[in-house]
Chains A and B, each alone.
Chain A
């Protein structure tokens, strides 16, 4: 650091890197991970229990209010956690101008897929 500048090293360091929002991202990743532990285990057990059951049996299961609720939570939590995880991976390994493009495409993809999944669940749940 040159002697000419009046800025102290601490003022140059503050606000750089992950000091602004890194903790928040870290917490959100952990909180969603914690929520996904029971949700994914319930989903895996349900899918295994439905091995060999037909379309009508599967739809009847998905139409149950409690199942529809848990499925919406699962899809929302999954794509939220996935977005945070992929963000870290893109930020760590993509260093070119593609980084911003990749981050935006990933985020749009996560939102689109989450909405598509939730709409499909609701359509099945509220169909007469």
Chain B
């Protein structure tokens, strides 16, 4: 901010558009996007809690919507975003602790994040459907 001068010629970052997407770059941006998506679901969580505090009528309106197909698709998106951000976040915490920087490990942990977040989403929904009867 202090010395930004658009007229001065500065080195440019690589143009992201011409780069082939890689697992590393896709997961990096996915963690940011899932964070933004989860922020929107955090608003839904507060609406849900406020409705529960308001009483059975307000709560049942939320409950009926969440049971509809649109609500279920929204909840499925929430589940996947949550597990993706959780697994990606744990991968970042392991990096922050100083482990897993070898290229092979980076790809192995990346695929683990993809597999685990998909598997956990499906398991969560199967358990939920079984419990609902």
By a beta-carbon cutoff of 8 Å, the part of chain A in contact with chain B is: 16, 30, 33-34, 37, 40-41, 44, 48-49, 51-52, 55, 58-59, 62, 71, 75, 78-79, 82, 85-86, 89, 113, 116-117, 119-121, 123-124
Q: Are the C-beta atoms of B46 and A16 separated by less than 8 Å?
A: no
Q: Are the C-beta atoms of B39 and A82 separated by less than 8 Å?
A: yes
Q: Which of A33, A71, A113 contacts B93 (CB 8 A)?
A: A33
Q: Are the C-beta atoms of A117 and B50 separated by less than 8 Å?
A: yes
- Main secondary structure on chain B at its contact with chain A? helix
B35 to chain A, nearest CB (A): 5
Whether, in the assembled complex, B30 has its beta carbon less than 8 Å from a beta carbon of chain A, the answer is: no
Interface size for B (C-beta < 8 A) is 33
On chain A, the residues within 8 Å of B39 by CB distance are 82, 85-86
Q: Are the C-beta atoms of B42 and A78 separated by less than 8 Å?
A: yes
- Main secondary structure on chain A at its contact with chain B? helix
The docked-state distance in angstroms from the alpha carbon of A33 to that of B95 is: 14
Q: Are the C-beta atoms of B131 and A30 separated by less than 8 Å?
A: no
Q: Are the C-beta atoms of A62 and B52 separated by less than 8 Å?
A: yes
Q: Which of A37, A41, A49, A62 contacts B131 (CB 8 A)?
A: A49
On chain B, the residues within 8 Å of A37 by CB distance are 86, 89-90
* With A51-B128, A117-B49: A79-B42 Cβ-Cβ less than 8 Å: yes
On chain A, the residues within 8 Å of B38 by CB distance are 82
Q: Are the C-beta atoms of A30 and B53 separated by less than 8 Å?
A: no
Return the chain A residue nearest B97 by Cβ: A30
On chain A, the residues within 8 Å of B32 by CB distance are 85, 89
